[in-house]
Structure 1
């Protein structure tokens, strides 16, 4: 119950995790020996610590067992009428069957009253309502209490007179019930209450903190409720004194205490929320006021007050868990929020079913006999599994699915019986069909959740590694963010953050809740590692980190390091080859063009060779440079295109806008340069245009290039794309972009190039 984890994504939390302190993670149970050793230190030996707590646990277990046996003995000594009763159509109490030869002739007759000594009890079908806790009317609840007190007093004399309809009277000598007549339901519910009581004692004795005490309070209250239900299940006609008087106020108080304990615990665990003390105080004061009014009998509409208060407190607990999860993600908050929604929904359906059955007492009797028992057993089972929630992942999932389907089916069954007056078979069949239909609709989602089909595959892993390696090479400062993104996809944690802490190697901390991975300096080879990545709660809290996960993370980092080194080696080879080609072009082709220019026979030939030589210089400079600032490249493009268009007597309209001066790689520079040159060459060769407008816009990572002419070109969809336009498409696609041509209404053609993620491509 008491879980300590790093409080929030802050330096103090990171220090707590990375300093070697293995805080108690969500996988820890209340009896974790490591937790015991850490919290009590070496001053008190572990054997001594366990000794006196084990002795207290044994004493508590003995007290619980003796209490159950004494309760069974008390009920076994109570007098009973050897008969089975049922509710009549007119609200009377009818004798269904009896093994007593004195009563057997009166089977099917209605019992009017019972006299024992000086006590007279007038009875009807309300007697069969074993508990006044689930009576919605204050008047009916008071009549139920008075009837059971009178009947119990009369039966206590051992010899009674039974008055049946039509004036018949029978004298009957009562016998002890005996242990054998208590029934299997009594022992099952008593056993569940005892187990819940023992788990509460174990949690408190293991670590008596506020959160564990709140859990114990809720568990003990539900154990008390189960004990009351066990007693009621064993009774056939009347509750033994003093249960009729205390049944309603005590059971309602237990429900209220359970609800406020859950709210208080939700404000503290898994993370203490701001204002937790104020929320707790307000809740406890409100519940205390209700309990005082219940005990004094001054609360009108008590049943509605309690049902509404418990539902409100349940919704408040769900809200607190949601808030806690937003402050600091934790799987416990997610799981408990889901169970909270299920529990509050079942509570609301039970309340509506009982309220809807007010006009049909026989139907309401059936609902009150089954509904509260199912609810209490479900909630008690949830409390039992709570301390072992993280240790039993598969069991928890199976229980969740079974509990959800069973609760929905039962709640729908009760609602159909109460609201639509359906028969038992019809309502049960309809409820099962609807529940199975709901399950079938959500089956695929459930399977995806249980099988976790969104795990990063090996293929995608290599693709991600290669992409990150290229990005790290271009932007070394993004290494931590890119590696964190990769680890998020690999492990699907609930939380991942970068901490300023040096650790020598990957390790698992927090009892398996946290994994720490050092961030390598990939851009500088074997430089010292700086910082670490902290990820918590693998697969959204569905499992714990293991040493295999640590080794996998180390292999991923090592593969990323190798990919970066390999990519750098490849890029270095490419750069050297480009530099050699540029040098050869400059020394060989450049020299030949220069000679040809000086030997030109005409001025036109000299200008043509000079322009070709200028293009060659631009190309060789581009090949030799490892990167190109966008502003410099734009200036070169404008100068080059102006020169080429001027020679063709075409004017240039140039517009350049960029929100940042990014650095273009050789591939990007080459693709954009050749695409613009080809588009302008196409205008010069075919359009007969007098003007070309070029607009270059870079916003964020999106590049838009528009080339518009006022020539004679028409219907670009009918063009046959040869090497020129095909080359434009190929180079734009190489950068991850799209290119399209369209006709301008005033005349001419507009070519639009759009590259949405320019930096993603090399």
Structure 2
């Protein structure tokens, strides 16, 4: 069963009734005239007694709570309603309140307190010898000390015993002041110590005295002056200490990043709590949200500071921290404009909200974008320029390659200090010293580099910088590998050309010089000229296709056989005519066919040669026969000039069969058209 109050009429109404509860007979929305022998007042339903204007009013509140608690603790309670019609219902209170009836505000405060307690213990376990971690653990303990009592009395149905209520309130005040003292002490020593330990002890002494005086209800006029003013003072002191920390840490990127994180947490969370809860109470205005839900803000503040003290993820503040603060500013501006238009311009709520939204969209957001460009300029090289610079590094001589690589790193990340890295380190860029340094690994012979204090010391190296550095390193490694592969290919091609000229053309020219017949000499010279033409064409064109090689060989064979009065029946049918042949494959194919033609001219005595060439799955099939003399006696032992032919086919991982066709000779060869293929 829950109650609500109408401030303008001072009427207490029944807001809701559980369908299976002891008061289920009471009509929802009815005005309550009496509960037992007491008339309920709107002040009895106050969630947080801190709003009492004086201690006298607070004492009266506790007295009424005690009386109401005794009334509802009776065996039977008579509840009289005045509206919609006068009636009286006897209610038998349950012995215990079901846990399912507890409102959401109870669980929010309970879970917030538990979360901060666990986070505080976790940070303390990470840095047990650090005074900042101890203070954060104390702050983590203070939130459940403040939240758990508030969860009990803020979720009451109507009343609690006055003495218990007083004790719970005192514990809540103690936890609240303890949180503020611990946080202020933390900001005074972290990340840079601003005061001595002796000065820090003044904080618990002063605010501990405030708590004692508030609990005894002396000196101060009321809880607003004792508690709320103290909270505002503590929060203002925290913000001031954050400003001082930032000033002293302006040359220390790590300290500056930590204090930025702290400032972000304080401004968003504590500032919002003070704005929506504390300041309205100071000016006698009811807060717009429940204080129990506002405890979440302290929980978020605590989480932010805890992350800062634990030294995790302080790196990516530049962009999104500005975005969060700027959009928070837009939200505050929207609320202020809306309230000003309603109060001072007497506009209705929809119109005021529409005008406020228009002002924020047309004025504030463009100003925010302009500030972002001014405060967060990007000094990184664009990708196209960077790619060109990296290619220049890859193609540079060894004497200037190192210098150009370091110049790219310097212009990209603008470090204050660039030094030699540690050899044998990681293979990927790594953030070191909590973001103060970025280690660049060894890349293809370039020495490792260590960058310190990013962007002239204005901020820490972030995971985004690490990923960008990894992209640059991968780009450079790929460019150097491509250069090495190109140089290796060029060297291999030069070596192949030199080998072909030495082994083949040199041997052919030497044979031509020693040849006794002009026919043999002319043949060798023609083959040498053809080989030289192939070398020049392949170097200029990058190789020939199978179809082009076969066409050249057919013309060459026709000319040579025609000079020897031998007819040629040439047919080739292949499915791999567009295949680009490797130089060694093309040369071997020419040598095989030339050797067959040469042997036919010199030894066969044939008048006709039949040649068939085909391909199947990348395998060349060559079948040549003639109508000449066939194999000479003793071929198996002396080779009869065909040994070179067999050696060339075997070198291609192929197979050669030479047989006597009676009449004539038959040669069958089978070999792959690429080095990756096998027969």
TM-score of the superposed pair, with normalisation by structure 2:
0.52
Which residue, 448, 452, 462 being the options, matches 1:534? Answer: 452
Which residue, 87, 97, 114 being the options, matches 2:6? Answer: 87
Structure 1 residues 502, 423: CA separation in 2 closer, same or farther (over 3 Å shift)?
A: closer
TM alignment of 1:173-188, pairs within 5 A: 173-175=92-94, 176-188=96-108
- The structure whose Rg is larger is 2
Residue ranges of structure 2 left out of the alignment (5+ in a row) = 392-401, 480-679
Q: Which residue of 2 aligns with 1:335?
A: 261
Deviation at 1:272, TM superposition (A): 2.6
Q: Which residue of 2 aligns with 1:296?
A: 216
Structure 1 residues 540, 445: CA separation in 2 closer, same or farther (over 3 Å shift)?
A: farther
CA offset digits 1:212-262 (Å, max 9, x no partner):
121122222223444345334532322466542034433333222222212
2:166 is the alignment partner of 1:275: no
2:301 is the alignment partner of 1:382: yes
Check conservation: 1:222, 1:258, Cα contact below 8 A. Answer: yes
Check conservation: 2:31, 2:81, Cα contact below 8 A. Answer: yes
Which residue, 71, 74, 96 being the options, matches 1:157? Answer: 74
Check conservation: 2:264, 2:325, Cα contact below 8 A. Answer: no
2-side partners of 1:88 and 1:194: how far apart? 35
Which residue, 182, 185, 200 being the options, matches 1:261? Answer: 182
Deviation at 1:377, TM superposition (A): 0.9
Deviation at 1:147, TM superposition (A): 2.1
Structure 1 residues 308, 190: CA separation in 2 closer, same or farther (over 3 Å shift)?
A: closer
Describe the SS at the equivalent of 1:94.
strand
Check conservation: 2:149, 2:169, Cα contact below 8 A. Answer: no
Structure 1 residues 447, 106: CA separation in 2 closer, same or farther (over 3 Å shift)?
A: closer
Describe the SS at the equivalent of 2:253.
coil
Deviation at 1:337, TM superposition (A): 1.8
Deviation at 1:124, TM superposition (A): 0.7
Check conservation: 1:197, 1:220, Cα contact below 8 A. Answer: yes
Structure 1 residues 550, 109: CA separation in 2 closer, same or farther (over 3 Å shift)?
A: closer
Deviation at 1:133, TM superposition (A): 2.8
Deviation at 1:546, TM superposition (A): 3.7
Deviation at 1:132, TM superposition (A): 1.0
1-side partners of 2:229 and 2:88: how far apart? 43
Deviation at 1:125, TM superposition (A): 0.4
Which residue, 14, 36, 58 being the options, matches 1:141? Answer: 58
Check conservation: 2:116, 2:140, Cα contact below 8 A. Answer: yes
Matched positions, count? 446
Check conservation: 1:515, 1:536, Cα contact below 8 A. Answer: yes
Which residue, 215, 220, 235 being the options, matches 2:156? Answer: 235
Structure 1 residues 304, 196: CA separation in 2 closer, same or farther (over 3 Å shift)?
A: closer
Describe the SS at the equivalent of 2:125.
helix
Bigger relative contact order, structure 1 or 2, given CA contacts below 8 A and separation 6+? 1
Structure 1 residues 97, 205: CA separation in 2 closer, same or farther (over 3 Å shift)?
A: closer
Which residue, 457, 461, 470 being the options, matches 2:382? Answer: 457
CA offset digits 1:679-735 (Å, max 9, x no partner):
xxxxxxxxxxxxxxxxxxxxxxxxxxxxxxxxxxxxxxxxxxxxxxxxxxxxxxxxx
CA offset digits 1:648-683 (Å, max 9, x no partner):
xxxxxxxxxxxxxxxxxxxxxxxxxxxxxxxxxxxx
CA offset digits 1:614-669 (Å, max 9, x no partner):
xxxxxxxxxxxxxxxxxxxxxxxxxxxxxxxxxxxxxxxxxxxxxxxxxxxxxxxx
Deviation at 1:302, TM superposition (A): 1.6
Q: Which residue of 2 aligns with 1:28?
A: none
2:21 is the alignment partner of 1:109: no
Q: Which residue of 1 aligns with 2:669?
A: none
2-side partners of 1:407 and 1:177: how far apart? 43
Structure 1 residues 510, 181: CA separation in 2 closer, same or farther (over 3 Å shift)?
A: same
Describe the SS at the equivalent of 1:111.
strand
2-side partners of 1:427 and 1:220: how far apart? 43
2:123 is the alignment partner of 1:198: no
Describe the SS at the equivalent of 2:139.
helix
Output the aligned Cα RMSD.
5.4
Q: Which residue of 1 aligns with 2:235?
A: 311
2:249 is the alignment partner of 1:325: yes
Check conservation: 2:214, 2:226, Cα contact below 8 A. Answer: yes
TM-score of the superposed pair, with normalisation by structure 1:
0.47
2-side partners of 1:147 and 1:429: how far apart? 45
Residue ranges of structure 1 left out of the alignment (5+ in a row) = 1-81, 116-120, 359-363, 467-478, 519-525, 560-762
2-side partners of 1:424 and 1:276: how far apart? 52
Structure 1 residues 159, 517: CA separation in 2 closer, same or farther (over 3 Å shift)?
A: closer
Check conservation: 1:350, 1:411, Cα contact below 8 A. Answer: no
Deviation at 1:327, TM superposition (A): 5.0
Check conservation: 2:110, 2:147, Cα contact below 8 A. Answer: yes
Deviation at 1:400, TM superposition (A): 8.4
2-side partners of 1:548 and 1:398: how far apart? 18
TM alignment of 1:162-561, pairs within 5 A: 162=79, 170-175=89-94, 176-209=96-129, 210-232=131-153, 234-239=155-160, 242-269=163-190, 271-300=191-220, 301-330=225-254, 331-350=257-276, 353-355=279-281, 358=284, 364-365=285-286, 367=288, 369-370=289-290, 372-388=291-307, 390-391=312-313, 405=327, 409=331, 420=343, 440-441=365-366, 444=369, 453-458=378-383, 489-491=411-413, 496-497=416-417, 508=430, 510=432, 513-515=435-437, 534-535=452-453, 540-541=459-460, 543-544=462-463, 546=466, 549=469, 552=472
Check conservation: 2:3, 2:15, Cα contact below 8 A. Answer: yes
1-side partners of 2:338 and 2:423: how far apart? 64
Deviation at 1:549, TM superposition (A): 3.0
